[in-house]
A and B are shown apart, each in its own frame.
Chain A
Amino acid sequence: MSESTAPVLRAEGLVKTHHGEGAPAHAVRGVDLCVARGEFVAITGPSGAGKSTLLHLLGGLQRPDAGSIWLDGECTDGYGEARWAVERRRRIGIVFQFFNLVSDLSVADNVELPALLAGVPPRKARAEREALLAELGLAGKERSMPGELSGGEQQRVALARALVNHPPLLLADEPAGSLDSKGTREVMRLLSRFHQRGQTILLVTHDARLASAADRVISFFDGRIADDAELDGGPPPRRTGISGVLELKD
């Protein structure tokens, strides 16, 4: 398969069981999934449904008990920790609920670090960082430390860090989970904007408002895909939907 036609991400038969204290938790119970280039897919479901575990499997942060994952058509079965770490700089960008910025590095260094680690020349890394921070409304914050920023600003820095190497796939795990309503709208707007430019995004969220920014929503229950729906955003057939929601009654 050539790189351009293969799905950015494909998974088959993924299974993951957590063995902690008490009964084993079946977090992911046989998941098949395909994400095409340019798609924006949201996975929603109640907390504890296993959706974060699924995202961790897809980003190589955890290994499945069974099943396989392909990135751009390439099987990852043989990947070890080191190889996954490389892919998380090259092919996969990740943003987390709690931002996970390096607290004793400046904003600029947080964003440039993955580029430098990927072998990008310093001058180019700086140019990428400057462009992204400007785009995300963070110009002038380069010298700030993460702790000096608001949650919304930290998440924007995390987004810049995730995108600095132009990964084909962006994974987002509850990116608005610790933000207020305004921060949520901001994250939603930015994800939509990058998606419009062709960024492939897989978003895990329990927030339906955030999920509705995606063009495909997967409902995840009890470790399984319960529904997989394309959102067309077209007018619903009857006089319900948006007008029914907003209209003043007679």
Chain B
Amino acid sequence: MRLPLLALLARGAAHGYELKQDLEQLLGSAYPQPNVGQIYVTLGRLERSGLIEGEDVEQSSRPNKKVYHLTDAGREALRAWYEETADEPRVRDEFFMKLALAPRTGLADQIALINKQRRQYLNTMRQLSKLAAAEDRDNRIAHLLIEGAMLHLQADLDWLERCQEELEELE
């Protein structure tokens, strides 16, 4: 989440808790509880690497809060982030290696593996559907995120189906 935090700081300084709220507002229930601890840790790292600078601001009745702003190096890093395209999702994942190696181990049946994996994907799909139904209709960004997750899962499920078709023919 380093670069998303930099991006949130592009328009002006903010403190950690504000960034958490910004993320919540942007992604809605699709990202229910941004881990505030993780945000502070990441801000610390960004500061050490010179991409942001923190400034202590006094508060009357509470401890000081640290307000961060982008440095020139930070803005440059953000620009570079927008220059490059993102990596493709990984296909050769852990499940695939399990499936491919199953016959050699004699420890698992490929079709049973596929069925088990499908159940998990379907359950996740169901949770995503519920999330989409519960999310504010007007939060387009949140809906696009959830829909993206669903389409990826759909592709994974289609691929499981292909595996099953091929492997059942061999049986």
* 0/1 interface trace, chain B 118-136, chain A, CB 8 Å (1 if under): 1111111111111111000
Asked whether any CB of chain B lies closer than 8 Å to the CB of A19, the reply is no
Q: Which of A209, A221, A245 contacts B154 (CB 8 A)?
A: A209
Asked whether any CB of chain A lies closer than 8 Å to the CB of B43, the reply is no
Chain B residue at minimum C-beta to C-beta distance from A46: B161
Is the pair B123, A233 in contact by a Cβ cutoff of 8 Å? Answer: yes
Asked whether any CB of chain B lies closer than 8 Å to the CB of A249, the reply is yes
Q: Which of B4, B38, B115, B123 contacts A231 (CB 8 A)?
A: B123
Asked whether any CB of chain B lies closer than 8 Å to the CB of A188, the reply is yes
Q: Which of A1-9, A29-37, A117-125, A210-218 contacts B (4 or more CB under 8 A)?
A: A210-218
Known A219-B115, A222-B168, A246-B30; contact A236-B154, beta-carbon cutoff 8 A: no
Q: Which of B87-133 contact A (CB under 8 A)?
A: 111, 115, 118-133
Is the pair A233, B118 in contact by a Cβ cutoff of 8 Å? Answer: no
Asked whether any CB of chain B lies closer than 8 Å to the CB of A232, the reply is yes
A219 to B71 alpha-carbon distance, docked (Å):
54
Shortest beta-carbon distance, B31 to chain A, in Å?
6
Is the pair A213, B129 in contact by a Cβ cutoff of 8 Å? Answer: yes
Is the pair B149, A212 in contact by a Cβ cutoff of 8 Å? Answer: no
A73 to B133 alpha-carbon distance, docked (Å):
36
Known A208-B121, A212-B122; contact A242-B131, beta-carbon cutoff 8 A: yes
Chain A residue at minimum C-beta to C-beta distance from B142: A246
> Which applies to chain B's interface (DSSP): helix, strand, loop or mixed?
helix
Is the pair A241, B123 in contact by a Cβ cutoff of 8 Å? Answer: yes
| Chain B residues within 8 Å of chain A by Cβ, number | 40
| Chain A residues within 8 Å of chain B by Cβ, number | 35
Is the pair A245, B31 in contact by a Cβ cutoff of 8 Å? Answer: no
Chain B residues, CB < 8 A from A249:
1
Chain A residue at minimum C-beta to C-beta distance from B149: A245
Chain A residues, CB < 8 A from B38:
250
Asked whether any CB of chain B lies closer than 8 Å to the CB of A105, the reply is no
Chain B residues, CB < 8 A from A207:
154
15 A-B pairs in the complex with CB atoms less than 8 angstroms apart: A46-B161, A207-B154, A208-B125, A208-B153, A209-B150, A209-B154, A212-B128, A227-B115, A229-B118, A229-B122, A231-B119, A235-B127, A236-B120, A241-B124, A245-B128
Residues of B bordering A, CB below 8 Å? 1-2, 4, 30-31, 38, 42, 111, 115, 118-133, 145-147, 149-150, 152-154, 157-158, 161-162, 164-165, 168
User: What would 7 more interface pairs be, CB under 8 Å, given A226-B115, A245-B152, A245-B153?
Assistant: A45-B161, A208-B154, A209-B150, A212-B122, A232-B123, A234-B123, A250-B38
